[in-house]
């Protein structure tokens, strides 16, 4: 590891940046260094801005990818190298104003039902029922599931923030059934090979496979389950501030976009999982 890389790593850790964010920022800085074949601290502000133009015009990368590069370069030059912000100004590219393609309740139920095995089924169920991001469901620990308080603790989510989200009675029943088969510890959904958290690609592929088997043609990846969580709760009458807290959004404006996707109903569940007819809780006693 070079001295510059170590300094940048230390700066990011000190500011609580998540592991995936740190990796993305390091990739952005190493990419511009490879492009100019020079150490990144020897690259001028104008050259860094020209590199961004190259990504947009020549390589035609998406706005989201370019925004990651911008954020990574800003952090490196402004925080690690302490360059004046006024002399290094790369505007973030505007993201297209597209709304996510929403899965219906029936489609969510079909998709989960077509998961390849009980482990993937439980992971997809948990992602939807608790409104989790991909990295959050992968890093759940058994101890994070609190059946006494009916909550799930999400440790170090996006932005390095902890939060609690809802634990539906139906999800708890599914997790208990999964526990009797897998007996995982400490990670709730460990990799079969390493006993560490599963690699993101494995769950992403499981989602795509289940969607294909369910005959769902709509675009989008596993994050669509989180979109469905938020929108289905809004349709059920849950208020925006509660949903903001469950999702871990820093600003209410991020949550309000789901208003454009809602179809209002009169139902009031603890979790959108309670709206899926095919996941009734087991009989008691």
What residues act catalytically? Answer: 133, 158, 223, 226, 249, 258
The torsion angles phi and psi of 225, rounded to 5 degrees, stand at -70, -35
Instruction: Tell me the two tokens of residue 283.
Output: 């009989």
Whole-number Å distance between alpha carbons of 270 and 149: 13
Instruction: Tell me the two tokens of residue 186.
Output: 């400490």
In three-state form (DSSP H/G/I as H, E/B as E, the rest C), the secondary structure along the chain is: CCHHHHHHHHHHHHCCCCHHHHHHHHHHHHHHHHHHCCCHHHCCHHHHHHHHHHHHHCCCCCHHHHHHHHHHHHHHHHHHCCCCHHHCCCCCCCCCCCCCCCCCHHHHHHHHHCCCCHHHHHHHHHHHHHCCCHHHHHCCEHHHEECCCCEEEECCCHHHCCEEEECCHHHHHHHHHHHHHHCCCCECCECCCCCCECCHHHHHHHHHHHHHHCCCCCCCCCHHHHHHHHHHHHHCCCCHHHHHHHHCCCCHHHHHHHHHHCCCCCCCCCCHHHHCHHHCCCCCC
Across the strands, what pairs with 190?
A: 197
């Amino acid at each position: 590891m070079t001295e510059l890389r170590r300094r940048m790593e230390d700066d990011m850790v000190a500011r609580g940046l998540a592991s995936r964010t740190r990796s993305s920022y390091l990739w952005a800085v190493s990419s511009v260094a490879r492009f100019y074949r020079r150490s990144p601290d020897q690259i001028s502000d104008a050259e860094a801005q020209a590199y961004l133009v190259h990504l947009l015009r020549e390589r035609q990368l998406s706005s989201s990818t370019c925004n990651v590069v911008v954020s990574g370069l800003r952090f490196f030059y402004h925080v690690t190298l302490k360059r004046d912000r006024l002399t290094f100004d790369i505007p973030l590219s505007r993201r297209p104003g597209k709304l996510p393609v929403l899965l219906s309740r029936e489609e969510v139920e079909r998709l989960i039902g077509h998961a390849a095995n009980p482990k993937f089924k439980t992971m997809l169920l948990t992602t939807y029922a608790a409104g989790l991001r991909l990295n959050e469901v992968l890093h759940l620990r058994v101890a994070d599931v609190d059946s006494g308080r009916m909550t799930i603790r999400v440790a170090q989510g996006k932005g390095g923030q902890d939060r609690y989200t809802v634990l539906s009675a139906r999800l708890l029943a599914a997790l208990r059934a999964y526990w009797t088969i897998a007996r995982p510890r400490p990670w709730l959904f460990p990799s079969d090979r390493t006993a560490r958290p599963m690699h993101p690609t494995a769950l992403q592929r499981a989602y795509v496979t289940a969607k294909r088997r369910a005959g769902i043609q709509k675009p989008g990846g596993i994050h669509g389950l989180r979109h469905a969580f938020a929108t289905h709760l809004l349709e059920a009458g849950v208020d925006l501030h509660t949903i903001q807290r469950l999702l871990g959004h820093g600003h209410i404006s991020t949550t309000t976009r789901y208003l454009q996707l809602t179809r209002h109903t009169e139902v009031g569940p603890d979790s959108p999982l309670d709206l899926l007819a095919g996941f009734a809780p087991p009989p008691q006693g």
